[in-house]
Amino acid sequence: MSSKEKPTLGGTRIKTRKRNIAAPLDPAAFADAVVQIYLENAGDLVVFTGGRTQPGTIKSDEGERHPYSVLDCQPKRETILPSVLYIQKILRRRPFLIKNLENVMRKFLQSLELFEENERQKLALFTALTFSQKLSGLPPETVFQPLFKDNLVAKGLVLPFITIFFREYLVDNSLDDLIALLKRGKMEDNLLDFFPPGRHNDECLSEHFMREGLPALVQYHEKKIFEVKLKEMKTALTTQIAEETDVSEVIETAKQHVKVANLPDVEVVRILWDVIMDAVQWSGKNQQQNANVALRQFFDEAYLPQVDDRDEIDSPEFVTLQTNMGMEKGVKTWAGLLNVFCTSGKLELELMYKVQIQCYEDTKLMKLFPEIIRSLYEQDVLAEDTVLHWFRKGANPKGRQTFVKALESFVNWLEEAEEEE
C-alpha cells in the first residue's frame, strides 16, 4: 500500500444520531390511526362529532364516522351523562388531557352558529353535566369566554344555550354552587350580557328566567341590582360628608337615591348610619390613635378641656373622653339626616339594633354604646319609648347583656322622668 493512501475501515456503516433524523409529518396517517382506534372501540370512547371535522368544526360528509357521538345521541340527560362520566374516568388516569378537553369545548362554543338547534342543546347539556360532575381543573373562565362574542349574542344563540346550562346544572347543585361557578367564570355580574341588544334589560331577564322555571336566578339578579343601588347611594353620601357638604344637600341627595332606587326604609336607615360612622377614619392601631383621629374628624378643638400636660392628654381617661366627645359631635352634626328618615318606632328600633351590632363587632366602640344612644335621644332621633322597648324586650342577642347593663343608669333616669310626668 502506498504511503500516500489513507487507511479506511471496510464493512462498517456510519450511523446518524436519532435526534438528527427529521421524520416527515404525516397528519393524514395520524388521523387514520386515531379513527381506527375509535372504530375498534365502538361505544367505549367518547366523540363529539363522530369523525373528523374541517376547519371551523364543520362536519365532513366524507369518510366513515364513529357510530356513537354526543351530537348523534338523544338530547337527554341519561344519554349524555355516560359520556361525561367516561371522560371523568379518563381524566383521573391522565390529568394532562384536561387541557385538550378545555380547548375542544371552547372551539365548539365559539362555533355555535355552525350547529343546528338540537345539536346546540346537546352541547349545552354536555357542558352543564361536565361542570356538574366537577371535572378537576376545567376552568370556566376560559371555557365560557366565547359565549360573550357579540355576534353569537346578537343572533340569539347564547341565551338558549346558557338557559339549558343553568337549568341542567341546578338539577344536582344548589344556587350557591351555580353562583360560585359564575364567579369563577367572571359572569356573576354579566347575566344581561347573554341577552340580545333588543332584550338587554332587567324586565326581559326576569320574564325569561321566570318563564323557563328559574325564579332563583331572577331573585339573585334583583339582589345584585339592589346591592349596586345601595353602594351608589353610600358612595355619594360618603363623598358629600367628606367634603363637608351642608346637611340639607346631603338630605336631598339621600332622598333622590331613595326615590330612584325605591329602597326600603329599613335599608336606608342602616346605610345612613354606616355613612356617618365611615366619616370617622378609624385608621389608628390602638384606641388612643383612633380617638385622636375621631377628634380631628368631628370635634371643634375650642370645646376641648384645656390641658397643658402632654401626659395627661395621652392618659386613658382623657382618650376615652376625647372619643366620647368626638362620637357625640358626629351624631349631633348629622342628627338632622337621621331625623328625616327615622319616621317611626320600628325604624328607630332598627337604628338601635344597627348601633348595637356595630358596637358589638368593633371593640373600640364597645364602651361608646350608652353615649351614642344618649346622644341620639337628646337629638330627638330616638324616642323614649323606643329606648325603653329595646331595654326591656330587645330581640338581638349580640352583646345585649353588656349593653343593657351599660345603659341601665340612663334607662333609670328615663323611667324616673316618666313617673314624674
| Rounded Cα gap, residues 257 and 363, in angstroms | 32
Task: Tell me which architecture the domain covering 264-420 has in CATH.
Answer: Alpha Horseshoe (1.25)
Instruction: State the cell numbers at 157.
Output: 344563540
| Rounded Cα gap, residues 79 and 399, in angstroms | 57
98 exposure class (CB count in 10 Å sphere: 0-12, 13-18, 19+): middle
Q: C-alpha angle with apex 286: 276 to 307, nearest 5 degrees?
A: 85
SS3 58: strand
Residue type present at position 300: D
Residue type present at position 69: S
Q: Residue 218's pLDDT is what? A: 92
Q: Are the C-beta atoms of residues 337 and 254 closer than 8 Å to each other?
A: yes
Q: Residue 70's pLDDT is what? A: 77
Q: Residue 317's pLDDT is what? A: 45
177 exposure class (CB count in 10 Å sphere: 0-12, 13-18, 19+): middle
Q: For the whole model, what pTM was predicted? A: 0.62
In sequence order, what are the beta bridge partners of 53? 59
What ranges do the domains of the chain cover?
Answer: 73-213, 264-420
Print pLDDT tens along the chain (421 aa). Answer: 455 566 555 555 655 555 555 555 565 665 666 556 545 544 444 445 545 555 444 555 555 555 557 777 888 888 888 888 888 888 888 888 888 888 888 888 988 998 889 999 999 999 999 999 887 678 888 888 888 889 999 999 999 999 999 999 999 999 999 999 988 888 877 888 999 998 888 899 999 999 999 999 999 998 888 888 889 999 999 888 888 888 889 899 999 998 888 888 999 999 999 888 877 644 444 554 554 444 344 333 333 333 344 344 344 444 444 444 444 444 566 788 888 899 899 999 999 999 999 889 887 778 888 888 988 898 889 999 999 999 998 888 888 889 999 999 998 988 887 666 6
Length of the chain, in residues = 421
